Amino acid sequence: MSKSMDAQFLDAFQSAFREGDEKTADKREEAENVRRVEEVFRIIARQDFDALGAILADDVTLEIIGSSDIPMAGMTRGRQMVIEAVRNNFAQLDEQRPEIHSVVAQGNTVVVIGRDQGLFLPTGRRYDLHCMYQYTFENNKVISIRELFDTAAMRRATQPEND
């Protein structure tokens, strides 16, 4: 993520959570889970991937839904494996400009809907896609992360140009 966009993106979590819901002050569990998701994104923005360990459950799963020809797609299980997958995935991206469109929280689940633009380093191609992240918590730890994104847009960025 570019440094100038990090603060704007990260500061949008709380306002996106409160938008359109007059009762967010009564949703303590949800507010705490939104804060935890915000912390995940702050850790990623700092590129302090080892710090993810304190937030992730031992048996956490990361599922990035997409076709097998997209390098980041797939299922990863276990704290250390998820940390390494996140580290490797973000090492392939540069000039990220994420936007939050909305944050929805209910019980132990937080969903972040947004858009991300940037550069896929292995091909040098730009991407612009809409995405959704679903975080599920158990005992105050992230137990599951599921990501959905515009696979056609990511495929264009990750596949070499045809000669």
pLDDT for position 162: 66
**Phi/psi of residue 66, nearest 5 degrees:** 180, 170
Q: Quickly list DSSP for the chain.
A: --HHHHHHHHHHHHHHHHTT-TTGGG-HHHHHHHHHHHHHHHHHHHT-GGGGGGTEEEEEEEEEES-TTSTT-EEEESHHHHHHHHHHHHHTEES---EEEEEEEETTEEEEEEEEEEEETTTTEEEEEEEEEEEEEETTEEEEEEEEE-HHHHHHHHSPPP-
Quick one: which of 84, 85, 83, 137 has its CA closest to 110? Answer: 137
pLDDT range class, residue 161, cuts 50, 70, 90: confident
Tell me: pLDDT of 154 over 50: yes
Q: Which burial class, exposed, middle or buried, applies to 46 when counting CB atoms under 10 A from its CB (0-12, 13-18, 19+)?
A: exposed
Is 60 exceeded by the pLDDT of residue 1? no
Residue 79: predicted pLDDT: 97
Residue 26 is predicted with a pLDDT of: 73
Q: What span, in angstroms and rounded, lies between the C-alpha atoms of 47 and 109? A: 24
Q: Tens of pLDDT along 24-78?
A: 677 788 889 999 999 999 898 888 989 999 999 999 999 999 888 888 999 999 9
Of 9-13, 64-68, 91-95, 110-114, the least confident = 9-13
What is the reported pTM? Answer: 0.84
Q: Side chain identity at 93, as an amino acid letter?
A: L
Question: For 3-158, which CATH class?
Answer: alpha beta
4 has pLDDT over 50:
no
Q: Kindly list the domain boundaries of the chain, sorted by start residue.
A: 3-158
